[in-house]
Structure 1
Amino acid sequence: MFASAFLAAADRPLSPGFEHFYNLEYTESISSFRAEVAAQPNSPDSWNHLAQALLYSEMFKAGALESELVSGSNPFVRREKMNPSPEVAKQFDDCLNKALQLTEDRLSKNPKDVASLYSSGVAYGLRANYNYLVRKAWMDALKDATNARKMHNRIIEVDPSFVDARLVQGVHDYLVGSLPWHTKMLGFLAGFRGDRQEGLRNLKLVSEEGNLAKYDAKVLLAAIYRRERRPLEALPLLESVSQRFPRNYLFKLEMVQMYSDAGNKQAALTILDRVESLKKSNAPGASLPFEKIWFYRGNLLFWYRDYDGAIECLRRVTPDTSALDLHTAVVTWMRLGQSFDAKGKRKEALEAYRQAIKTGPQTDAAKESQNYIGSPWKRLT
C-alpha cells in the first residue's frame, strides 16, 4: 500500500508514460520511461518512474493491485510473496540506487532542495513496497517507509504549502497507527506514534488540494475506506479515478466490491454487465480475461447466497485458470467448493477444495481450503 503514495498524477496532462501507467498498460509505460531515462539520465525522477513501472507491472501480474483480492480476510499488513524474475529485480534495484545516489549528491550541496527531498522520499517508498511484497522483509519495509516520511517532513519544514508531501505523512501515520504497541517501540520509529485519523485527514487534504499526488490520495483513501468498511465513502473516489483513467478496469472492479459491501447487489451487477459488454466489443482497456469477470460475478453471487448462480459462474472459470493471477485462481476453486458445500454436494466440494490446494499450496486460500477437507464449510452469518 505504501508505494501507492509515490506516483505522479495530477489534473494537468500526464506524460505518455503515466497515461499508460494509470491505465494498466505497463509494457508501454516501461518503454516510455526507458526512453525518459535515456533522455534524462541525471534526473532522479526518471529513474523513479522506471522503477515504479517495473514494480507495479509485477504487482499487476501477481494480482496485488486489487485491494483485498475479494476475500476481505487478509489483515492490513499481510500479503503473499511476489516472485519477480532476477532480471526485473536487478533492474528495479539499479533504478532506485541511481535515484538515491543522484538525490544524495544534490542534497549534500543543498539540504533544502525540495525536488530532491521529494524524489528521495519516492525512492524510499518504492523500496519499502518492494521489501514488503517481494522480500517479505517487513522491518526493512517499515524502516524505508519511515525514511520516506522523514524526507517529506523536511519538505514541509521548508515549504508548508507543499501539499503533496503530506501524502507520505498521511500514509505513514495511518500505517504506524495500525501497528501493535510493541512494534511502535522500534528505534527507527522514535518520535512517530502514528495516528490513523490524522493520517486520513492528510490523505483527504491531498485528494482535494494536491497537485502531484491527487489521484494517488484518492486511490489510497478508497482502499482504506474499504478496509474500514466505509464503502459509500470509497465509491465517489473510485468513480472519479475511473472516469479519469477509463482503461483501468481495476477501478471498475473495485466499485463492484464497494457496491457489494454497501448491500447494493444490483448496482454491482450492473457494473459487471458493463465491463463484460466492453470486453465483448473489444473496447480500449477491456483487456481483462473473461474468466476474471466470471469470477467476480460468481464471488458476488456467493456472498449474496445465490449458490446456484455462483456455481454456474465459477464453473465457467475453472476449465482454464491460466489467465488469472494465482490468488484469484485458488479462490475460484475454494468459492466453488464452498458453494457446493452450501448446496449439500459434498463430493463436488471436496474435489474443488483439492484443486484449490493443488493450484497454489502456499496461498492463504489453499490453507483455508485444507480446513474444509475434514469438515464442510458452513456460513457463520
Structure 2
Amino acid sequence: GSLPWGVKVAVSLVGLSGSKEKGLQYLNEATNSTDEIGVDAKVVLMLFLRRERRYDEALKIARGLIPRYPQNLLFAVEEGNLLRASGHNPDAAAVYRRIWQAGREGQYPGLHYELAALGLGDLLRNQKDYQDAAAAYELVSEAPQPDREYLQKANLGAGEMYDVLKKRDLAVRKYQAVLATNAESPPAQIARKHMKEAYRDN
C-alpha cells in the first residue's frame, strides 16, 4: 500500500540535500509509534540505513520486525542480505538456508521463498564455492511454481558454475532451461553466448 503522509514527509526530507539527518531523525521518532505508521517508518528507515551502509543499525530494525511478522518473506530475506553486505557471510548463509527450509515447511504460503536459495547461490559463488553455489541455484527449481525471473537467474548461475567446474553438458542443459523460460530476456542473451563459448570465472 501507499506510505502514510508522515512517512512520505520523512522520505522527502531524507532525499533533500542537507536535510538527510533531519529526515532520519523524523523517521527514528516515527518508529516509536505503535500503529502501522511506526512499522512503515521502520521499513523506510531500514532501507535508508542500508543505502547509507549502516548495516548494523538496519539489521537491528530487521531483527525487530521478523518476530512480529514471521510470515513476511522480505523482512527475513533482508536479514540475510544485510549480513552478507556487512561481510558476515556464514551468518547470511545460515539465514538463507533457514528461510528455504521454513518455506518448504509452509511458513511463507504463496510467496517466492526460492529467493533465499538464489541469494545463497550468489553468496557461495562470490566465495568461489562453485559446487555448493550450483547446488543452491538448483534449489530454486524445486520450489512450487518458482518466479520465472528467479528461475532464469538461478539456471544461468548454475550453468556458469557447471562451466567453471568443467561440467559442460550440465552447463549447456542449464542454458537451454534459461531459454525455455523466456528466450527474449537479458539472461537468455547471456545463456546464448555461453552456449557458444563456455563461461569462465575471471
| Distance in 1, Cα, partners of 2:25 & 2:201 | 37
Output one character per residue of 1:153-205: Cα deviation in whole Å (capped at 9) or x when no partner.
xxxxxxxxxxxx1x10232345xx4xxxxxxxxxxxxxxxx337254443333
Q: Counterparts of 1:227 and 1:346 in 2: how far apart (Å)?
A: 39
Q: Describe how 1:66-215 pairs up with structure 2 within 5 A.
A: 152=5, 165=6, 167-174=7-14, 177=15, 194-195=16-17, 197=20, 198-208=22-32, 211-215=35-39
What corresponds to 2:70 in structure 1?
A: 246
* 2:154 equivalent in structure 1: 332
Give 1:234 shift: 1.6
Report if the CA contact (8 A) 2:137-2:158 is conserved: yes
Q: 1:220 and 2:44 equivalent?
A: yes
Corresponding position of 1:300? 123
> Which residue in 1 is equivalent to 2:171?
349
Larger radius of gyration: 1
Structure 2, unpaired ranges of 5+: none
State the secondary structure of the residue aligned to 1:5.
Answer: coil
Unaligned runs of 5+ in 1: 7-151, 153-164, 178-193
Against the structure 1 CA distance between its residues 200 and 362, is the aligned structure 2 distance closer, same or farther, given a 3 Å change threshold?
farther
Distance 1:333-1:218 versus aligned 2 partners, 3 A rule: same
Distance in 2 (CA, whole Å) between partners of 1:236 and 1:243 is: 12
**2: CA distance, partners of 1:221 / 1:369:** 38
Aligned residues: 199
Q: Is the 8 A contact 1:353 1:369 kept in 2?
A: yes
CA–CA distance in 2 between the matches of 1:170 and 1:336? 42
Distance 2:92 2:40 in 1: 24
In structure 2, the CA distance between the partners of 1:209 and 1:272, relative to structure 1 (3 Å rule), is same
CA distance in structure 2 between the aligned counterparts of 1:249 and 1:335, rounded to whole angstroms: 22
Alpha-carbon RMSD across the aligned residues, in angstroms, is: 3.3
> Of 80, 91, 106, which residue of structure 2 is paired with 1:256?
80
- One-letter amino acid of the counterpart of residue 335, structure 1: G
Q: Which amino acid aligns with 1:326?
A: R
The aligned residue for residue 311 of structure 1 is 134
Shift of residue 292 of structure 1? Answer: 4.8
Partners in 1 of 2:197 and 2:34 — Cα distance? 52
Q: 1:317 to 1:263 in 2, by over 3 A?
A: same
Contact 1:238 1:255 in 2 (8 A): yes
Q: Distance in 2 between matches of 1:226 and 1:317?
A: 26
Query: Compared with structure 1, are the counterparts of its residues 323 and 347 closer, same or farther at alpha carbon in structure 2 (3 Å cutoff)?
Result: same
Higher relative CO (Cα under 8 Å, sequence separation at least 6) belongs to: 1
Q: CA 1:368–1:310 in 2, change beyond 3 Å: closer, same or farther?
A: same
For 1:240, the aligned partner's letter is G
- Shift of the 371–217 alpha-carbon distance from structure 1 to 2, 3 Å rule, reads farther
Mapped contact 2:140–2:146 kept (Cα < 8 A):
no
> CA deviation digits over 1:59-100, x for unaligned, max 9?
xxxxxxxxxxxxxxxxxxxxxxxxxxxxxxxxxxxxxxxxxx
CA drift of 1:254 comes to: 1.5
Shift of 1:307: 0.8
Cα deviation 1:26-55 (Å, max 9, x = unaligned): xxxxxxxxxxxxxxxxxxxxxxxxxxxxxx
Give distance in 2, aligned partners of 1:210 and 1:219: 14
> 3-state SS of the aligned residue for 1:258?
helix
Shift of 1:212: 4.1
User: Is contact 1:4-1:220 (8 Å) kept?
Assistant: no
One of 84, 87, 90 as aligned partner of 1:266: 90
| C-alpha contact (below 8 Å) 2:155/2:175 kept by paired residues | yes
Shift of 1:255: 0.8
The answer (yes or no) to whether the contact 1:321–1:329 under 8 Å persists in 2 is no
- 1:24 alignment counterpart: none
Counterparts of 2:184 and 2:102, CA distance in 1: 35
Give the distance between the partners of 1:301 and 1:227, measured in 2 at CA: 23
User: Alpha carbons of 1:222 and 1:369: their partners in 2 closer, same or farther (altered >3 Å)?
Assistant: farther
Given the two structures, how large is their TM-score scaled by the length of structure 2? Answer: 0.75
How far off is 1:236 after superposition?
Answer: 0.7
